[in-house]
Amino acid sequence: MYLDDYKRWMAADLEDADLKPELAKIEGNDDEIKDRFAVALKFGTAGLRGVLGAGTNRMNIYVVRQATQGLANWVKTQGGNQTVAISYDSRLKSDVFAKTAAGVLAANGIKVRIYDALMPVPALSFATRYYQCNAGIMVTASHNPAKYNGYKAYGPDGCQMTDDAAAIVYDEIQKTDILEGAKYVSFAEGVESGMIRFVGDDCKKAFYEAIEARQVRPGLCKTAGLKLVYSPLNGSGLVPVTTVLNDMGITDITIVPEQEYPNGYFTTCSYPNPEIFAALELGLNLAKETDADLMLATDPDADRVGIAMKCPDGSYELVSGNEMGVLLLDYICAGRIEKGTMPENPVAVKSIVSTPLADAVAAHYGVELRSVLTGFKWIGDQIANLEAAGEVDRFIFGFEESYGYLAGPYVRDKDAVIGSMLICEMAAYYRSIGSSIKQRLEEIYAQYGRYLNKVDSFEFPGLTGMDKMAGIMQGLRDNPPTEFAGYKVEKVTDYQKPEETGLPAANVLIYTLEGGATVVVRPSGTEPKIKTYFTTLGKDLAEAQAQKDKLAEALKPILA
């Protein structure tokens, strides 16, 4: 079967000049042909993601056309505006895939609003809502290495597509022949006919205004003298982040020169992920050179932001996603109470694998903190529920431990632009009162206890990897551990039992231990690995770390 597909692609008149030479090169190599044609990239709630190249198991214009035809078939049943918004980041072929998707939609009689230059995930979510679209498409592979690209699909609410809608789109994709099944007109034809239009300046301006309206202390940054180093990691953050920071009065910004402009090869860091040190290294060196107060880096599609803060001794320290989530929650609550802008019955939302320290901070300020499944669409879902009840203003903040933040309901996905703005405003505020982010973090730990949050991963490569992972999870359910490293298990929460959790079913186990520590075990949704999340609580960092080490050691034989 896969050999027939290979021969068919070889015989076809392929429009992308890169594909034929690749196919010719693997002629007679069964493993390579199998790798490209034995399966197709699966379309799910996160859309598509794969390595660039030829074949059904790669990202290329034909896979994009087929997926977009599936999406178009679903849109046609939806009534409404019959419009789809499109954005793309700096990855290789992102602009080509975005224009290819636009051509398929236009050929299907569906109107398109596409950005005229690369723009991040939150800008796509915003445009989808602004133009009251039926759907949105973001061409990105987030923080994957350079050889990947992908295609995220959004629903009319600007949130990543629901399971039900994605299942329908997937069925329609299955019915569409990959090389010839999609209707298609060229981008130029689509523009000429008026079916494809660019996102207007009014929409871009409204996006920036919506973000800037969420300042906690407007005007503060103009006089704070904050000194910043920023890296867009060669992605889509440069224009939106610097626009918003300049608007609010932060002008002393040094951009990391090697990472300033779009470059889909990501030559300075093999893995453009602001969670890892290597991606921030150039920025950290520049921060030390320029004596900056703060160093920020946004990932290629600018939905997540990582930071390094300057410590009183002049060194720089990376801040984890959990710590930043807690710092922002604390800053927003205290600031809005002080300014009289806190809504009645405020709501914040975090993922179930994010730190319980946030629960303690929220309780202190009288804020209701809701915990949802991993994936920012579940935070978007909570905002939608508040909106449906006419109470959307109650939402003040949402975060995930993986560096995703959102303050305000103007978009329904994580937003590194508002994240960057609020982090800078917070740094400027603490600087203006003779404090710092580092000092505030230490005060929070002193007040609530020294929480430590760490994530370990166990990889299960190869064809049997998924089976092994399923076996381990089943084993934990069949023979529930009663203790880890001598700490008694007081409670097990199994998220595969929605009747107990009140949330949709998910393959996650949370163990609450005596003394307050928690261990979370969950298989990754995108990679062959099981992740373990530890939260420990000690009188100081050493004590919390010692408990984490003991627990991790106890889990190793179970997950080996």
Any idea which residues carry the catalytic annotation?
Answer: 142
State how far the Cα of 325 lies from the Cα of 369, in Å rounded to an integer.
13
For tokens 């408990």, name the residue: 547
For 235-299, strand residue ranges (E) read 253-255, 294-298
CB of 418 closer than 8 Å to CB of 403: no
State how far the Cα of 340 lies from the Cα of 335, in Å rounded to an integer.
8
List, in order, residues 6 or more apart from 315 with CB less than 8 Å away: none
- Report phi then psi at 166, rounded to 5: -60, -35
End-to-end Cα separation, the chain, in angstroms = 36
State how far the Cα of 123 lies from the Cα of 240, in Å rounded to an integer.
9
Q: What totals of helices (H) and strands (E) does the chain contain, helices first? A: 20, 21
Output b/e per residue, 263-296; b: 16+ Cβ within 10 A: bbebebbeebbbbeeebbebbbebbbeeebbbbb
Which of these, 323, 327, 370, 364, lies nearest to 347 by C-alpha position?
Answer: 370
CB of 349 closer than 8 Å to CB of 369: yes
State how far the Cα of 239 lies from the Cα of 112, in Å rounded to an integer.
23
CB of 158 closer than 8 Å to CB of 380: yes
For residue 208, count CB atoms less than 10 angstroms from its CB and return exposed for 0-12, middle for 13-18, buried for 19 or more: middle
State how far the Cα of 351 lies from the Cα of 371, in Å rounded to an integer.
5
Which of these, 108, 46, 122, 100, lies nearest to 77 by C-alpha position?
Answer: 108
Tokens of 292: 């900056």
Tokens of 316: 């720089």
State how far the Cα of 518 lies from the Cα of 534, in Å rounded to an integer.
6
